[in-house]
Structure 1
């Protein structure tokens, strides 16, 4: 079982992501009603190259420092220096690539947009490396404070600009300001006196190579759909796809992703004990899917209501896209557990191989989907890819810690059954709620409450319990036989 310290750390990170996403959704709610899908499509296209460059030049300073048994000021200096160099390279490459990129998509507005948007990753790379002291101690309240301050500043500026008639520049301001304000906040929370140094470069080099390679391929996986669609569909269609795609990752980004950082730290303390690692991985994966499965399936079943409530008129076509895309990202919760395991075991090369395999599937399948059925074909291709990748994640869990497929499936089957029962109940309820002509928010709340009740009741009947106390937390199965 994981310690209560890890639970508290996860709690702060989940709270941070939840409140951060809440601010993002609130900002999106306002911007979607004042701007158009074409505005979002344009900024999405400008961001595609920035995101890829951000990944190509990624230097995982935090992850590298986290895996060290000890560190000193020279490690922080080297990490900050690498971040500074990274920022300069991102700025230079963006400026050089902006004109040919804009010419390829036949839209000169992309040039200034890309130049300004590049400030976001530059700012993130200049955050205080001193924050690692809190992260290593599993104290994430400081991270929470920095991120929320950044989100609030970004929200305030974006809303001000859109009311001043800035149009799509309000979206750009929201993206950049969040990164700049968060980075500045880290220097107030964890004061650090910058110094240029490469004294500890060797402690970053090996880890950085594999981890950065995985980041690059992962970014290509995430952005390939948008890059392709940007060339073959109009800006409003791209905008609807991008917003639906961003909404679909809410379960993994807001709930699962933050919880994995303290889990990774917990893995690191037992990485020389194979039996405990296997047990810890199963528990972490179960927790991840415990939250992701019902949340994702629930969003899929109520996507039309969510889109109507959050985005308003003009966005209706994003609903069917969201209902499928959220299913496509559900296996990502399992990948995040595997990713934490790989980092804790100092096996970033595994992450690289997984990402390469996914990209090898994505390029042909997405292209075929686009050729056969446009944006709908792309969405179905993503669903097929995600199902195939879940098997790959389980395969690598077997190779890393010796967990067979059968044991991994048994670990999750009750969660899957409870989610299936929930899905049937909500699917049967929706037509009746639609006939009543209820307000959108009330219908959504009733559907969500019903789904949650069915899911909880099914788990209770199946013997699955959430135990808290005595410094531990775990999902237990009262009917399970002890492992041999």
Structure 2
């Protein structure tokens, strides 16, 4: 028993430290994204964003069809050799060539469908972004295997900075939607080039180890395809049934609402596939690890999403300007609609670590079949507002299906997957009650400086109320093992390491 506990500590500690680093790094890169969005939002119009949104929806779906998560497959290989890396690079190159051919072929019929000739060149150009994403050095997975994400952080930051500079310069000089396209291409291109500099690899074409990846890749590709349809179907339908201006507003609202999950949730999830794989042969530890990771994600993600929903109006007016103020209610609703997914966020890494990627397909397919007919009717009757309302309805449905899948996998009852987060939910409600009156007063504040100052004060108050409430409820509950204990341990470790320095 002692040996087991001892062996567990390094895995949990490394996973938590890696997640902390990834959250911090993604916070930096998303701040760069936010600066880019803010500047482009002031230099371009909602119609510009609407045109690019249609093209990007097509690209995302085609990329998902051609998606080969070879990096994740490499991580699962215990001792990868040069032959594995050669196979990974070759598959990526073949994927890039096929993707570019398909995207170019689709550009004209898509432009005809949407009656917009601008989409021909735009779709063809944007296809280079996912194409070059497959051409990075496969040896970058070595640091992921060690849970050392510092090189990845550096590469992503370099890509985002290049995107910021190029897109803003082009938008300033031309006022064209091509600024968004160039920025989109710049990030993966910079990362791919820099990865070969940081992780030396001499390419050699080979498919010698394809059998090592084939089963995993097959199911991941199917899941990605259905998942991409789920992510993009509302924008595709809106692009056909609503104006480019409404689509641009919807796209911008969606990007802003998803920022917290990209900054926090995705980064907390990244180390979990590796961490779960290390203990997948121990069902008890695996269940405990899943519960702990879910608790951490809900504890951190819930207050951030609630805060974004509450502060959407002053935040958007500060960041994007008054012309985007109309999307504040959309951002608020979209942020709240993401909350149900927090409770089941670790399910995908769990199933991947157990080599049960195929179990994700029924969840994704049920989501698509559920939302497609209702979404068509909702957009037809209510336009953009109907698409927004569908986000919440679909999120609740998918969360319920995912909880059922988690119950079947690790034996954790669905109702417990919500009830065990009661401290976080209560603390979030108390935070809302404390800051809602303050933020409501900012909705009509004309002075930018005063609005910004009061917004910062409301955010600090919200953080203080939530923290005190969570810790108080945790103490009253008898200090159970959970997110609070893990966060406190991480804070203590950070303070100790800082003092030693």
- TM-score (norm: length of structure 1): 0.94
Question: Is 1:446 aligned with 2:489?
Answer: no
Match of 1:244 among 237, 253, 265: 253
- Residue 457 (1) aligns with residue 494 (2): no
- The answer on 1:427 being equivalent to 2:442 is no
> In the superposition, relative to structure 1, how do residues 24 and 434 fare at CA in structure 2: closer, same or farther (>3 Å)?
closer
In 2: Cα distance, 1:355 partner to 1:275 partner: 27
Change in 2 beyond 3 A, CA 1:469/1:307: closer
Deviation (angstroms), 1:8: 2.4
* DSSP 3-state at the match of 2:22: helix
- Greater shift after overlay, 458-467 or 166-175? 458-467
Q: Which shows bigger deviation, 434-443 or 317-326?
A: 434-443
Deviation at 1:375, TM superposition (A): 0.7
Deviation at 1:469? 7.6
User: Alpha-carbon deviation of 1:4?
Assistant: 2.2
SS at match of 1:329: helix
Gaps of 5+ in 1: 475-484
> Partners of 2:136 and 2:257 in 1: how far apart?
28
CA contact (8 A) 1:128 1:191 kept: yes
Q: Distance in 1 between matches of 2:444 and 2:248?
A: 31
Q: 1:61 aligns with which of 70, 73, 84?
A: 70
Distance 1:7 1:400, change over 3 A: same
> Partners of 2:443 and 2:229 in 1: how far apart?
40
**2:97 match:** 88
CA contact (8 A) 2:314 2:442 kept: no
Residue of structure 1 in register with 2:352 after alignment: 343
1:473/1:337 CA distance change after superposition, 3 Å? farther
Match runs of 1:79-228 below 5 Å: 79-165=88-174, 167-228=176-237
Q: 1:416 Cα deviation (Å)?
A: 1.1
The alpha carbon displacement at 1:258 in A equals: 1.4
Distance 1:113 1:473, change over 3 A: farther
Partner of 1:387: 396
Whole-angstrom distance in 2 between the partners of 1:186 and 1:336: 29
| TM-score when normalising by structure 2 | 0.91
Q: Counterparts of 1:196 and 1:166 in 2: how far apart (Å)?
A: 42
Aligned partner (choices 59, 76, 81) of residue 50 of structure 1: 59
Look up the match of 1:478: none
Q: CA deviation at 1:350?
A: 1.4
Q: CA deviation at 1:424?
A: 2.0
Q: Considering only aligned residues, what root-mean-square deviation do their CA atoms show, in Å?
A: 1.8
The answer (yes or no) to whether the contact 1:308–1:440 under 8 Å persists in 2 is no
Q: Distance in 1 between matches of 2:152 and 2:170?
A: 27
What secondary structure sits across from 1:250 in the alignment?
A: helix
Q: 1:467 to 1:100 in 2, by over 3 A?
A: closer
Shift of residue 9, structure 1, vs aligned partner: 1.6
| 3-state SS in 1 of match to 2:382 | helix
CA contact (8 A) 1:466 1:473 kept: no
Q: Distance in 2 between matches of 1:179 and 1:260?
A: 21
Q: In structure 2, what is the equivalent of residue 406 of structure 1? A: 415
Residue 24 of structure 1: SS of its match in structure 2?
Answer: helix
Offset at residue 11 of structure 1 (A): 2.5
CA distance in 1, matches of 2:314, 2:485: 30
How far, CA to CA, are the matches of 1:432 and 1:235 in structure 2?
32
SS of structure 2 residue aligned to 1:306: helix
Matches within 5 A, 1:291-310: 291-310=300-319
The whole-number CA distance in structure 2 between the counterparts of 1:426 and 1:471 is 28
Deviation at 1:166, TM superposition (A): 5.0
Contact residue 120 and residue 176 of structure 1 kept, 8 A? yes
Give the superposition deviation at 1:20: 1.1
**Separation in structure 1 between the aligned mates of residue 54 and residue 400 of structure 2, nearest angstrom:** 32
**2:496 paired residue number:** none
Report the Cα distance in structure 2 between the residues aligned to 1:457 and 1:9, rounded to whole angstroms.
Answer: 26
Partner-residue secondary structure (3-state), 2:343:
helix
Distance 1:433 1:375, change over 3 A: closer
Matched residue pairs, number? 474
Task: Indicate conservation of the 8 Å contact 1:158/1:170, yes or no.
Answer: yes
Flag the 1:362–1:103 CA change in 2: closer, same or farther, 3 A: same
Point out the more displaced range, 300-309 or 169-178.
300-309
Shift of 1:353: 1.4
Structure holding more helix per residue: 2
Q: Report how far residue 468 of structure 1 moved.
A: 5.3
